[in-house]
C-alpha cells in the first residue's frame, strides 16, 4: 500500500481528487484497501456524497472494477451504500441504472436496497424545496420502471411497494412544501406592500 495515498485520504473533506489511482500503477487489491479504509471510516448512512467519490472520475476504465466490486460486496449494506453514492454523483443516469440493475439481479434483499441513495442530495440553485422533491419523484419513478422490468418480478414485490410508498410520501411532502412556500411568498409580499410602504 502506498503510504502517500493513506496520508492524503486522512483528510477526506479537504483532500484532492485521487482518481490517479486508475493510472495502472495501483493493483485492484490496493484500490480495494483504499476504498475499504474510506468505507470503514464512516459509521453511518447518508444521502450526502460518500468520501470514496474522491477516488473516481467517471470514466469507462472504472466500469470493470465497479462491476466486480458489486459482485463481491453485494451482501454488505455499507459497501453498496458507498459504491452507489459514488456512482450517482460521478456517473450519468444510464450508468447508475445499469449498475443498480446488476446489483438487484445479484441480490434482492430489500434492506440493502433501502440503503442505496436513489437521488442526489446536493446543494445547488433551485427555485424552491418542492422543486428538489419533484426531482426525487422523477428519479424514484425511473427506478420503479426499471425494477418492474426485471426478470422474476415476484422477487421484487417489496421493492415495488417500497418505491411506490416513497413516491407517494414524496408527493405529499411536495404539497406541504408548496403550501408553506405559498404562505412565505404571501407574507413577504404583504410585508413589502404594507410594511415598507407607509
**Bigger pLDDT: 189 vs 23:** 23
pLDDT at 192 exceeding the cut of 80: no
Q: Dig out the grid coordinates for 50 from the structure.
A: 460518500
Task: Render pLDDT for 79-93 as a digit per residue (tens, 0 to 9).
Answer: 999 999 999 999 999
Pick the residue with more confidence: 146 or 9? 146
Average pLDDT, the chain: 80
Rg (CA), the chain: 21
107-161 pLDDT, tens per residue? 999 999 999 999 887 544 444 555 667 788 899 999 999 999 999 999 999 999 9
Averaged pLDDT, 4-11: 45
Concatenating the DSSP letter of every residue in 24-90 gives SSS-HHHHHHHHHHHHHH--S--SSPPGGGGG----GGGHHHHHHHHHHHTT-HHHHHHHHHHHHHH
Amino acid at each position: 500500500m502506498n503510504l502517500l495515498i493513506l496520508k492524503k485520504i486522512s483528510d477526506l473533506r479537504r483532500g484532492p481528487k485521487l482518481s490517479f489511482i486508475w493510472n495502472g500503477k495501483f493493483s485492484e487489491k490496493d484500490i480495494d484497501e483504499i476504498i475499504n479504509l474510506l468505507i470503514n471510516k464512516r459509521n453511518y448512512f447518508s444521502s450526502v456524497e460518500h468520501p470514496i467519490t474522491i477516488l473516481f472520475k467517471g470514466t469507462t476504465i472504472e466500469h470493470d472494477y465497479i462491476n466486480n466490486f458489486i459482485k463481491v460486496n453485494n451482501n454488505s449494506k455499507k459497501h453498496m451504500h458507498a459504491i452507489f453514492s459514488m456512482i450517482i454523483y460521478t456517473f450519468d443516469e444510464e450508468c447508475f441504472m445499469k449498475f443498480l440493475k446488476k446489483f438487484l439481479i445479484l441480490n434482492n434483499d430489500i434492506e440493502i436496497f433501502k440503503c442505496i441513495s436513489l437521488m442526489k442530495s446536493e446543494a445547488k440553485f433551485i427555485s424552491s424545496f418542492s422543486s428538489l422533491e419533484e426531482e426525487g419523484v422523477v428519479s424514484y419513478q425511473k427506478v420503479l420502471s426499471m425494477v418492474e422490468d426485471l426478470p422474476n418480478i415476484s422477487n421484487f414485490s417489496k421493492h415495488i411497494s417500497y418505491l411506490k410508498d416513497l413516491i407517494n410520501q414524496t408527493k405529499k411532502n411536495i404539497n406541504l412544501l408548496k403550501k408553506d412556500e405559498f404562505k412565505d411568498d404571501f407574507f413577504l409580499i404583504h410585508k413589502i406592500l404594507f410594511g415598507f410602504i407607509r
